[in-house]
């Protein structure tokens, strides 16, 4: 199958904001007296903000929280996170990622983002990719987070390309599952690659250039 488009997850693929997320969730959890560590944090990969909060609240032992209180907690985490994102710059875009994106574009492929994050437009602006992608599907235009395929299906629709002609690039197992559920092939990095969740499991994003030429 000749791919016509590549749809990238953002965090852990194009750039790395894991540490910013971890610190922000930890600050919120510490304030609430909820145990939170990197093991719990790993369960939040590729998961929406409210679903992440539900995972953290599994260890909450205080009085019941209303939906409004939960939304305030999620907003507080996001405020801390967004403040830390001000530190991001084009220096957070690695030469390897930049060269791979440009190489894929030179091959005539359409490039899109498929991310559960509502902060996607802000992050792309910070790392110098604000207008680079042909389509951006993110937490602002979906109602279901990964492993539901909605974010990738919408990206393919925005591009006007059939799902089977799209290759998804993911670092989370839930994201790889979402790509497959959407009828797409998946190339994995990081945690998802270690778990052999992709059709291709890569050590480096550069391998994409060889995959699309196959």
Q: Which of 11, 148, 171, 191 is catalytic?
A: 11
Please tell me whether residue 23 adopts helix, strand or coil conformation: helix
The Cα–Cα gap between 97 and 159 comes to 21
Q: Which helix (H) or strand (E) element contains residue 111?
A: strand 110-114
Six-digit token string for 2:
């000749």
C-alpha torsion angle, residues 95, 96, 97, 103 (rounded to 10): 100
- 134 included as an active-site residue: no
Q: Which of 9, 138, 148, 171 is catalytic?
A: 9
- 31 included as an active-site residue: no
Angle at alpha carbon of residue 202, lines to 198 and 203, rounded to 5°: 145
Residues 6+ apart with CB under 8 A from 91: none
Residue 175: closest CA among 164, 157, 187, 163: 187
Q: Which helix (H) or strand (E) element contains residue 28?
A: helix 18-32
Give phi and psi for 181, each to the nearest 5: -65, -25
The Cα–Cα gap between 17 and 124 comes to 12
The Cα–Cα gap between 177 and 194 comes to 14
Looking at the annotation, which residues are catalytic? 9, 11
């Amino acid at each position: 199958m000749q791919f016509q488009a590549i749809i990238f997850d953002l965090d852990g693929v194009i750039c790395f904001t894991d540490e910013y997320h971890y610190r922000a969730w930890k600050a919120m959890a510490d304030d609430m007296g909820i145990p939170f560590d990197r093991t719990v944090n790993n369960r939040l990969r590729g998961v929406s903000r409210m679903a992440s909060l539900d995972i953290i609240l599994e260890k909450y032992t205080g009085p019941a929280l209303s939906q409004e209180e939960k939304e305030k907690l999620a907003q507080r985490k996001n405020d801390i996170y967004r403040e830390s994102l001000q530190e991001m710059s084009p220096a957070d875009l690695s030469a390897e990622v930049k060269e791979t994106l440009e190489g894929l574009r030179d091959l005539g492929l359409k490039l899109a983002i498929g991310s559960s994050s509502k902060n996607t437009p802000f992050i792309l602006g910070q790392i110098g990719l604000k207008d680079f992608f042909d389509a951006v599907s993110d937490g602002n235009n979906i109602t279901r987070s990964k492993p539901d395929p909605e974010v990738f299906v919408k990206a393919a629709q925005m591009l006007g390309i059939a799902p089977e002609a799209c290759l998804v690039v993911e670092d989370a197992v839930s994201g790889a599952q979402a790509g497959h559920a959407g009828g797409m092939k998946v190339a994995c990095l990081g945690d998802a690659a270690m778990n052999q969740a992709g059709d291709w499991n890569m050590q480096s994003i550069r391998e994409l250039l060889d995959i699309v030429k196959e």
